[in-house]
Structures are given as C-alpha cells and as structure tokens.
Chains A and B, each alone.
Chain A
Amino acid sequence: MSTEARAGHFPAVDWSGGTLPYRVGHRKLGMWLFIVSDSLTFSALLMGYAYLRASNNWPTPFPFYPSIVFSSVMTFCLLSSSLTMVFGVSASSRGDKAGARKWILATIFFGVSFIVLHLIEWNHLIGEGMRPFFLPEHWVKVFTLADGTPPTPLFGATFFTITGLHMFHVATGAIYLFVVAMRVNKLKHEDVEISGLYWHFVDLVWMFVFPLIYIMSVDMHGALGH
C-alpha cells in the first residue's frame, strides 16, 4: 500500500527524503509561497488604505458611469479569464496541448481587455483632475464637511498605488501566460498549472480591490452632479 493512499496522515517516511511530502513539486510549492507573500503585500496596502480612510474625511466620488460600469465589466473580464485559465489547465492535464494553448490565449485576451479598460478608466479620473496627491477642485468643494474639514488628497495616492500595483500584476501575468502558451509543448503539466495559480491569484486580489476601492467610494447621492 502506497503512502498516497493514506494522504492526510503524516507518515514518517514522507519527511525522510526522496518523496514530495506535500504531493506537489517544488516549483508549485514555490509559487504557493510567493502567492502567500504577495497576498501580504496587497493586505498591507489595503490595510494602509483602510487606516487612512478611517482617520480622514474620505471623498466618495465615483459615478455610476464611467467608474462603476467600467470596473464591473473589468471584474467580469477577470472572472471569465479565470474560467478560461481553468479550462486551459484542465486541457493540459488531459495532454491536450493545443487546447491548453487556445484557452491560455483566451485568458490573455481577457487580461489585456482588463488592462485596456482600466487605463481608460484611469484616463477619465486623470482628466477630471485627480492626481496622487491632489483632488480635483470641484471634489474638494463638494466633499468638504460642514465644520470645514476638507477631503484628504491621499485618495488619489491610495487609488493609484493599489490599482496600479494590481494592474502591474495583470500585465506581468499576461506576459507570463504568453510565454507558457508559446512553450506549452515543452512544458510539463505542472508548469501550466503553476501559471494558472498565479493568474487566479491576480483575479483573487481584484475581488478585494473592487469592493473596497470602487464599491465603497460610490457617489451615491450624485453629489458631483453626474
């Protein structure tokens, strides 16, 4: 009886060398550890954002169109890209290299759509006058409290830092997947699966960025007259 059949236990033989104690290769374990550390990077950024938000007069300027519509479509793109990625990994596990390549290219398509939509959305905000350390003047006017406390200009800093770092992850992910798609015939199945892990992680981070940055900052009462 192999140790495989007793998964869940910790037979001493697992840790005496010559086997894979976690039943994953060292590269896959490495990617998991990277994902854990990168999760902490994003957690720290989001906590920093929450810290600033709780201690400042925070503006809530995002209009339904373009901000919320764009970010929702972007969310849909990323979710769909995760689905196509999982199809790619599934095809790869069956030894269907051509299918894996096709699905990974579809994943890249959704990822690039995400980046393009996000850049258009950034461009809207920059056009309105938002900068990392300045708010547009009309936002300052609208969101100044009755006691005269102005909204914090750090809104732009947190927004551009967090969404920018996420966009950077999507961009590097798309390049990574492109390399995997081109070399899929030479790669082992587990290598394709590892690239999938990274891509799903990028999707996962957006599941926190989208509600915390966008949904929590909706201009609900049309204060800016959108």
Chain B
Amino acid sequence: MAAHAEEHFAGSNKLFISIWGWLVALTLVEIFLAYKTMPIHIMLTILLGLSIIKAALIVAYFMHLKFERLSLILTLVPMLVICICLLMVFFPDSFRSSGLRYQFKESPPVAPAPAEEP
C-alpha cells in the first residue's frame, strides 16, 4: 500500500460547503413549517421527506457512500430501508389501541370533583 501515500478522497471543499448550505437551508424550512397550521399527517410527511433528503445528502457526500463501490451501497442500504419499513407493522395496533382507551364520561379522576352535567 506504500504506493498509495495519498489516499483518494473524492469531493472538493466547495462541494462540501454547498452540501452544508443545503442542510442548513432545509433545517430552516423545517423550523418555518413548525409554525404553519396544517393536518398532522401532512406535516409528518413533509418533515420526514425533508429528513430523508438531509440523511441522503449526509450519507452520500459526507459519509462518502456515493463514491464507494456499488456493491457496498447495495449491501448496506436496501436491507436497512426494508427493516425500517417492516417496523411499521405495529401501527395498525397503535391506532386500534387508541380506540380501546377508556373514554372518560366525566372528568378524569385526578381532577377535583366538577359540577354535575345537566
């Protein structure tokens, strides 16, 4: 390996600064969105979409995966994505248990006794 005194590391500092600029800009968009009134599932979709873009930028450029061999990318990324998607199998149960929760007919037990409802 002595022949490779200078290791190859693709990407110029200018490229990295522009990636950093994009990441900061997308973060500012997220903070802006925090104060916009919108249905929670739309908000969640937009925020997760922005996060995935940011994650992809970090992995591709900062972690240098874009410049690695395709076989490494194919070994690491698809199985992670599939495993994370498989975790979503729990959500139907989450929505179901929300409906099973005890519905308070009166005020909750922690609160002081309220006036009788007519």
Contacts and interface: CB of A to CB of B under 8 A. Distances in A.
Interface of A: 7-8, 10, 21-24, 29, 32-33, 36, 39-40, 43-44, 47, 50-52, 54-56, 68, 72, 75-76, 79-80, 82-83, 85-87, 89-90, 92-95, 140, 144, 147-150, 189-190, 193, 196-197, 200-201, 203-204, 207-208, 210-212, 214-216, 218, 220
B53 to A, nearest CB: 9
Interface string B32-65: 0111010010011001101100110011011110
Ordered nearest first, which 9 A-B pairs have the shortest CB separation? A93-B9, A148-B104, A211-B47, A55-B98, A189-B7, A22-B72, A51-B94, A47-B87, A83-B20
A149 to B, nearest CB: 6
14 contacts: A43-B84, A51-B91, A54-B94, A75-B27, A82-B62, A89-B9, A93-B7, A94-B6, A144-B108, A147-B103, A148-B108, A150-B108, A150-B110, A211-B30
B90 A7 contact: no
Contact of B48 (A10, A36, A80, A211): A211
Contacts of A212: 47-48, 51
B58 A207 contact: yes
Nearest to B69: A23
Interface residues of B, number: 63
A180 to B, nearest CB: 16
Q: By DSSP majority rule, is chain A's interface helix, strand, loop, or mixed?
A: helix
A56 B94 CA distance: 9
A204 B97 CA distance: 32
Given A148-B107, A207-B58, A211-B48, A201 B90 contact: no
B83 interface: yes
A87 B16 CA distance: 8
Contact of A72 (B27, B68, B98): B27
B17 interface: yes
Which of the listed residues A21, A36, A55, A140 has the most CB atoms from chain B within 10 Å of its own CB? A55
A82 B80 contact: no
B16 A200 contact: no
B28 to A, nearest CB: 8
B67 to A, nearest CB: 10
B27 A32 contact: no
B68 A24 contact: yes
